[in-house]
Every structure is written in C-alpha cells, then in structure tokens.
Amino acid sequence: MLRNQAAYGLADIGNPQAVPALLRAIFKPEHVDNNGSIVYALLQFDCADLLEEIMLIIFYHGAEASFTANVALQEQAFNVTLAQKISIQHHWQLVKANPSEAVVSLGIDYLDEVLDELFEGV
C-alpha cells in the first residue's frame, strides 16, 4: 500500500528524474508479481526510450503490470534501436516457447503484430 502511494506521488509530481527510481522498484524481484501501480506511475512519463523495459514488463511480470504496460504500446511512441530490437526479439522467442498467463491473455498474435509494427524500418 505504501509502495503504491509513493509511486502515485512520484507520478503526480511529474519530475522525470523519478523514472529511474520507478524502474528500480518495478524490477525488484520481490515486486515482479505485485507492481501494477508502479508501472502505472511510470507510464505517466514519456517512455519513448524505454521500449525494452516496457516489453520486459509485458513478458515477465504479473497480469496487472503486463496489461498496464501494454497501454504504453498503444498510447506512446518509441525510439527503437537495433540493439533493442535484437534484445527484445531474443526475449520474445524465449517467452513464446513458455508464455506466462499474462502474455497468453494479451495474445501471442497481438504481440507479434505489435513488435512487427515497432520494428518496422529498424
């Protein structure tokens, strides 16, 4: 509860310097299945350079965080580098071989299409 309030507080302040702290909190192992609120707070900022982080949340975190991160794919534009493309594609192949419930709920075909669109021209 306190963690969620802190995340919302950082988002409300609107200072992009909060992004690294939010990312650290999101990727703490003990938060992986309970971090949807922190992901929501992250998405209140410009995530243009965070495509890999957003995809890792979708691929490996709980349903709430995955579904929330998916909103970023629909609402934000991303700067995609070749290195990100290669890394994300590697993770995606691993995830497709053993998808989480969240990934299955989002849809393998849907995520394939999203990634194709994101990587177009890269």
pTM: 0.90
- Residue 7: what pLDDT? 58
pLDDT in tens, 19-36: 998 999 999 998 888 899
Q: State how far the Cα of 113 lies from the Cα of 70, in Å rounded to an integer.
A: 13
Q: How confident is the model at residue 8 (pLDDT cuts 50, 70, 90)?
A: low
Q: How confident is the model at residue 53 (pLDDT cuts 50, 70, 90)?
A: very high
Provide the number of structural domains found in the chain.
1
Cβ-defined contacts of 111-115 (< 8 Å, 24+): 111/58, 114/73, 115/55, 115/88, 115/89
Output the 3-class SS for 48-64.
CCCHHHHHHHHHHCCHH
Which residue segment(s) compose the domain that 48 sits in?
Answer: 2-119
